[in-house]
Amino acid sequence: MDFEPSSEQRMLIDQVRRFVREEIIPLEARLDPDASELAPDDHARLVEKTKAMGLYGIDIPVEFGGPDIDLVTRTLLAIEMAQHRAGLYAPCYGVFGGAGLAQLFEANDDQKERYLYPTLRGEKKAFFGLTEPSGGSDPARAIRTRAERKDNGWVLNGAKIFISGADRAQYGIVFARTDASKGRGGITCFIIDSGTPGFHVRRVVHTLRSSSYATELEFKDCWVSDHQVLGEVNKGFAVANDRLTRQRIPYAAGCIGVAIAAHEMAVEWSKMRETFGARLSDRQAVQWMLVDNEIDIRTARHFTLEAAEKARRGLPFRTEAAIAKLTASEGGGRVVDRSMQIHGGMGMTKDLPLERWYREMRIRRVGEGPSEVQRMLIAREILGTSAR
């Protein structure tokens, strides 16, 4: 496959690159090093700019008001959007908009009016409730939250953990087991309003990300009507699975963008910094670290674009998405680590974004499925086996 950008893709890439360097990075100089949000006035001003650029909501399908941009181009743009201090988890601080919970594209007309459209307009925030204390990498088996039929609706009991944004959301998508006799065929997806009796945020869970946190949720005799079922009963896992696999592509792109930015910093620093009468760039030990950075970046970029291209064509891409996520998160982590080493003591400070990227990149080896799960998926493809 040829992944050389077309002239139109190159124009969009350059446009986003200028936006990051001229609009985002100067604002970060005035922000706390761990900040994940812009001042409201700055955010609103930049949203108007992305709308004028015709790039607002690039992940939103065209039938719901998004621009008609294919997945390969969106991946190339995601690589550019991540190249600033907060870019790994808050690319451009959300001023390009987003699809929100993509599973809502499966909603019926009533649910679209109540949840999807307000979310796309930025009027409502939502959370994604899949992972449980019993595990997150194998949701088909790990989901122990139960939903039982009662009073023309469903009663939920159980818990979720590592859920982002639930304490600030108006609603969430929650997966619960509705048939204990079936594995992945016994899970249903529910839309839960935050004020529903029996549902509450049990506690905040702090992680390596200083500026952000996850939450633990509890459902205790939480009743919801049939109107809150997203999709069909016992087919919730299918709703989650396609979008989770697709999400691994922009997830990988964010890792690549940060790796590129860290590598560029390391190259520039190595040419400028002198020790023992010579520049760092003249030393073989540093040169080899830069070479390894280049190889890790090119490898991850190739596999991520390959996954995006197969998804764009409508071909199976589960294995390719796993390879992309694996190479980008692990390779990107190595690039940031080497770039910190080249910067010496300066690399450890909050004066530079490297220490933030180092912490956040570590999470990426676990988020969206740990490296070991990605390797298991790839092994199944090689060996011709399937999930039991």
User: Which SS3 state, helix, strand or coil, does residue 205 take?
Assistant: strand
φ and ψ of 315, to 5 deg? -90, 160
Dist CA 111 CA 106 (whole Å): 9
Question: For residue 234, what are its two tokens?
Answer: 């016992």
Active-site option among 294, 309, 368, 372: 368
Query: Alpha carbon of 279 to those of 274, 284, 336, 345, 375: distances in Å?
Result: 4, 11, 21, 16, 40
Q: List C-alpha distances in Å: 209 to 35, 39, 106, 267.
A: 10, 20, 31, 27
Using a 10 angstrom Cβ sphere, with 0-12 exposed, 13-18 middle and 19 or more buried, the burial of residue 147 is buried
Half-sphere exposure of 179 (CA within 13 A, CB side): 14
Asked if 187 and 132 count as a contact pair (C-beta separation under 8 A), the reply is no
Contacts of residue 323, defined as CB under 8 A and 6 or more positions apart, other chains included, come to 303, 306, 307, 374, 378
Measured between alpha carbons, how far is 368 from 322 in angstroms, rounded to an integer? 10
Instruction: Round to whole Å and give the CA distance between 157 and 225.
Output: 15
Report the SS3 class of residue 39: coil
> Is 63 tagged catalytic?
no
What's the CA gap between 149 and 153, in Å, rounded?
6
**Residue 178: which of 190, 193, 165, 169 has the closest Cα?**
190
Sole residue written with tokens 């830069």: 290
Catalytically active residues, by annotation: 368
